[in-house]
Chains A and B, each alone.
Chain A
C-alpha cells in the first residue's frame, strides 16, 4: 500500500520536480551562458512565460480530457484558426460594427460557438459511426483547415479593435488576461474531472470501455460532451490569442495539436486513456514553455529547442515505462 502511494506521489510530482530542475538549470548555468544580461528568474519574465503558455495550454487542457476519455483530437489547430477567423471577421460585419464595443462579447460568442460546433461534429461522428477518433479528427483536421483557406485564400484575416487589444494586454491582480483564462479554464476542468459524474465516467470509459458499457454508462454522450468541450477550448484559446494580435494567417495553429499532446503526455496522462490529471497537464505546458524560453535565453535556436523537447519527451516515456513494469516476470511481447 505505502509503496503504491509513494509511486503515485512520485508519478504526480514528477512534472513539478522537472520544472524545478529546469528553473534551477536555467537560472544557475543558464545565466552564465546567457546572451542577455537579464536574469532568467525575473518576475516579469515568469509572468510573460505564463501568458505565453496560455494558447497551447488551454488546448492542452481540453486534450487531457479527450485523452483520459480514450480518444484523441487532431483537429484542434484547425478549429483554433477557424474560430479566430470568425472572431475577427464577425467584427467587420455591418450590424456588428453598429453595436460599437458591444460587438466584442458577441464576436466572442460567435467564435466559441464555432469551436463547440466543430467539436460536436467530431464527437457525433465518433459516437454514431464508431470510427476511431484518430481517423475522424485526422479527416476533420484537413477539412477544417480547408475551410480556413476557403475563407480568404492565402491572405491573412485582420481586424484590430483597440478596446479588445487593451483588454487582452491588460493585467488583473498582477497577472495577464490570458493567464487568467488559462487558470480559470484549468480550475473549471479540474473540478469537472474530479468532482462530477461526467468526469469520473470519462475516466472509467477510457480505462476499461467494456466495463463502462457493462455498468450501463452511456459512452457516446460522454465522448460527445468532451469533444464539444475541446472544440470550445480551442476557440477560447483563439479568442485569448487573437484578441491581442488582431490578425490570423491561414496557417496559424498548425501543429498545435501535437504540442498539446506533447504537453499532456509530459504531464503523465496515458495515451491509452483512463489515467491523467488536468493539473499535471498544466505542469506539462509550463515545462515546455520554460524549456523554450530557457533555451532561447541561452541562445539556442528553434531547431535545437525542438530537438531537446523531442528527446525529453521520449526519455519521459521510457522512464514511465520502467516505473510501470511489473518486475522481471513480466510477459514479453
Chain B
C-alpha cells in the first residue's frame, strides 16, 4: 500500500429499523489502490451498509470518514461529489435514453444557457466505451442492450469522474466470462490510479482472484477483516455463516410414486430452450443455476404465466395446455414465488385472508364469504405448518420471513396440489427458520407431493433434493442424483463447463 491513509473509513456504524438492528457497529476501511471485498449472506446487511454510505439512510450511530475527514452523507450526489461512486447491482438506468446520457446521468456536460454539449458528451463516452471494450456505441438506446451490456454501461459511470472510492455491488451477477475479464481490467486500472475499491460479491472465486482484503458481515455485525493472501474459502465461510458450510446431502429417501409432472422440449423464446425433466410423486427435484439461467422462467411457464414457444407439459401422463395460473391451479400445480413480499402475499391483509386468497370464491355462505370456513382452513394449516402468529387477525406484513413463507406454502397446500413449485424458498429468512422450511419441504414430499425447489443456494439444493437439475443460460446442463452430485461437478455444470471426460 503506497499511502496508508484510508480513502474511506467507517467507524461503529449502527442502523436500526423498527424491530431490526440492520447494522450493529460496523467498522472497516479501504486504502487507496486496494480492492476490499465485502462479503456476507443475503440479509447480512451489505445493502443497508451501502445505503448508509450513499446517504440514502442516515446511520443512528457511527461516523464515516473520507480521506480521514468526517463527512455526513446526505445524498448520492453528495457522495459522488466527494469521490465515492456506486455501481449498483439492480440496474439503475433510464432505458429510453442513450448510453451516453445514462453514463453521464446527472452530470451532462454543459454549454451556455443550460444546453447539453453533445459533442463533448459523445467524445467522452466514446473514450469510456473504448476502455470498456464493448461493441455498442454512445448513441445506442440503453433499452436495446442486453442485461450484461447494461451492466457495462453502469460500470462506465464509475469512469466519468476521478473517484476516490468505487463500490461495486455484485457487478458480475449478469456478466459473461469475457466481460468479467474486461471488468477486472477496469478494476485493476482504477487500482493503479490509487482508487480504493469495495467489491461486494458472493463468488469466492472472484473474491480470491482480485481482492486484497476481505471484510465479513453476519446478521448486521462486523465479523472481521482477513487478508486475502493469508486465508482460504473455508475460513471466510466460517466467518460468514458462523460454522463450516453444511454441504450434507439429502439422505432420506422414501417411496416414490408415478411421474406427476413431465416436461419435454419446453422452450420459451430466448429465456430457455429445450428443457426436459420429470418429477415423481414423493420426490424433491432441485433446480440449481446462476441468476438468469432460466429457472424461474420455467416455473412461470409451467404455472401458465408465460406462453411456451415449443414443447409439451404432461401432468400425470396426460398432455396439458396451461394458459393461465387459473388453469394451473385447477390442474393441481401451485407456485410459491420467488419474491415473497411482492408476488406471494398481500402484506396489508391478515394471515387468514392471505391463506384463503385462491379459494375465497368457493367459500361462501349465501352471498357472503363464510368466515367459519376460512378460519377452519387457517387453523388447520397453522397447526400443520407450525405458523407462529398471535392469531389470524395479525397482518402478514408484521410476521417474520419464515412465518410469511409458511403462510404462502399453506395457501397453496390448501388448494391440494399434486405439484408444488417452490422458488427460492428461504430467501431473506434467518438460519433457524431455514432448516424448518427445509424439513417442511422434505415432509411434503414424504406425504406424496411432487415438489420442485428452485434455489440459488447450493447447500439448500443439496440438502433437500432427491435429484438436481443444473441449468446454465437457459439450458439444462446435467441432471444429478443426490448420490452422484458433488460440489465441484455441480459448480462446473452451472458455469457452463461440460464435464471433462476423465
Residues of chain A having any CB pair with chain B under 8 Å: 1, 4, 8, 195-198, 200-201, 203-204, 207-208, 210-218, 274-275, 327-333
Contacts and interface: CB of A to CB of B under 8 A. Distances in A.
Nearest to B307: A328
B305 A204 contact: no
A213 B79 CA distance: 12
B96 interface: yes
A204 B92 CA distance: 11
A221 to B, nearest CB: 12
B270 interface: yes
B110 A197 contact: yes
Nearest to A213: B76
8 contacts: A1-B140, A196-B116, A197-B108, A204-B105, A208-B93, A215-B92, A328-B309, A331-B306
B309 A215 contact: no
A203 B96 CA distance: 8
B85 to A, nearest CB: 11
User: Which 9 interchain pairs have the tightest Cβ spacing?
Assistant: A216-B77, A215-B106, A329-B269, A207-B94, A215-B105, A211-B92, A216-B106, A329-B268, A208-B94
A214 B269 contact: no
Interface in B286-315: 297, 300, 304-307, 309
Residue with the greatest number of chain B CB neighbours at <10 A, chosen from A208, A212, A215, A328: A215
A195 B306 contact: no
A138 B348 CA distance: 27
Interface residues on B, range: 35 or more
Interface string B64-83: 00000000000111101100
B114 interface: yes
A214 B86 contact: yes
B306 A207 contact: no
B105 A217 contact: yes
Given A196-B114, A204-B101, A217 B106 contact: yes
Given A4-B144, A196-B115, A216-B77, A204 B306 contact: no
Contacts of A275: 96
A329 B271 CA distance: 8
Given A1-B144, A211-B92, A329-B271, A200 B97 contact: yes
Given A215-B76, A329-B271, 19 more contacts: A1-B140, A196-B114, A200-B101, A201-B106, A203-B96, A203-B97, A204-B97, A204-B106, A208-B92, A208-B93, A211-B93, A217-B106, A218-B77, A274-B94, A274-B96, A275-B96, A328-B307, A332-B304, A332-B305
A277 to B, nearest CB: 11
Contact of B141 (A4, A197, A210, A215): A4
B88 interface: yes
Contact of A212 (B75, B105, B157): B105
B76 A216 contact: yes
Contacts of A212: 94, 105-106
B113 interface: yes
B95 interface: yes
A333 B325 CA distance: 10
B11 interface: no
A8 B141 CA distance: 10
Contacts of A203: 94, 96-97, 101
Contacts of A328: 268-269, 307, 309
A203 B77 CA distance: 18
A208 B95 contact: yes
Contacts of B101: 200, 203-204
A47 B6 CA distance: 70
A47 to B, nearest CB: 33
B307 A329 contact: yes
B206 interface: no
A238 B80 CA distance: 44
Contacts of B48: none
B80 A195 contact: no
Nearest to B301: A329
Contacts of B304: 332
B237 interface: no
B324 interface: yes
